[in-house]
Amino acid sequence: MHIAFRADASIRIGTGHVMRCLTLAEALRSRGHESTFICRNHTGNLANLIEERGFQLHMLNLEAPTQQSTDSKDDSAVAHVEWLGASWQTDAEQTISALKGTKIDWLVVDHYALDARWERRVSVGVKDIMVIDDIADRPHECKVLLDQNLGRNAQDYDGLVPEICIRLVGPNYALLRPEFAEFRERSLERRRMPELKRILITLGGVDRDNVTGQVLSALAQSTLPRETELDVVMGASAPALEAVREQAERLPFQASVSVNVTDMAERMCMADLCIGAAGSTSWERCCLGLPSIMVVLAENQRGIGQALEQSGAAYLLGKEELPESLGRALNELVLSNSALIGLAARAEGICDGLGSFRLVEELSRNQTP
């Protein structure tokens, strides 16, 4: 099969959409399939990473405001329309042009600013369409829909997708790289006798509000033992990267700041606790049974965070309550191994890390001849 992906990364959008598409593309490649990416040239895009991974890439130019659709009533139906960098009509035509002359078996769409209108327009040039969504806030015209989030029900998409659409819902289909499943047994074994010595801090590839810096400030004022190790992971496009590096040098703990890491599964395996965003990396942490304190960085993450908190798999904080609430949570975990054991046990039952391969099987089984 030849699969095309339409997804974007930017300072505003973050990196999660492109990263999970890359995970799926690599799973497809492991089964002998070919993938092509179509992305717009936003500030903070991941073009270099996509090409480094060996995938074909078509970059779409940002459109000036005067070139965007003037039909505000039409565009206002999509809450994140400003994330696109063009009108949906322009984006559709540019996508069709990018794919012209290529036989595409599946077009995978992972973008909050695109809906059924765009999907109908581009369907003329592809066999089938799959949509990756998280928020169930707009209609889609697709054969397969994936929503990997805990707490989501297939019925949430009633009236938003065709009746014949195959709905793949829940963390069983979470798009995780294969190394997470490979590290799962080793990581879960570490959770049986926990001790809080090493904390992984990963608050998204962009972290435009520098929540990482707020977390480090809160940790500096906490009662954590001074021998605690901090492993801070950021994206190269994070605006506060240099400020965080300087801040880490002044901490009373041993702290390292790493950028664009490729060994996240091993880092999560070796960590005793993660302070992380309530986004798609939540499923990586669950796969490895890593106890977590989650921070909601964007409204679309709130549902994930609440579902995990209600399941007892993580603590949930809003970024506005960080210093005081983070300190209380840390004190509880430092004083109680049983709290760490409970978080780990409930997290590991949520996701096994094999979702990417389940999805590849679904696409292979349901492709149009």
Digit-coded pLDDT (tens) for 311-346: 999 999 887 777 778 888 888 888 778 999 999 999
Q: How far apart are CA 77 and CA 169, in angstroms?
A: 24
What does pTM read for this prediction? 0.87
- Residues with Cβ within 8 Å of residue 227, at least 6 apart in sequence: 197, 253, 254
User: What pLDDT score does 77 carry?
Assistant: 64
Report how many domains make up the chain. Answer: 2
Residues 193 and 239 in one domain: yes
What are 80-125's pLDDT values in tens digits? 898 999 999 999 999 999 999 999 999 999 999 999 999 999 999 8
Tell me the CATH number at 148. Answer: 3.40.50.11190
CB–CB of 286/274 below 8 Å?
no
Low-confidence ranges of the chain (pLDDT < 70): 64-77
* Amino acid (one-letter) located at 362: E
Q: Give the domain extent around 64.
A: 2-176+353-366
Residue 129 tokens, joined:
């369409």
Residues 211 and 155 in one domain: no
Residues 204 and 111 in one domain: no
Q: What is the DSSP annotation of 113-132?
A: T--HHHHHHHGGG-SEEEEE
User: What pLDDT score does 74 carry?
Assistant: 53
Residues 191 and 337 in one domain: yes
Residues 16 and 151 in one domain: yes
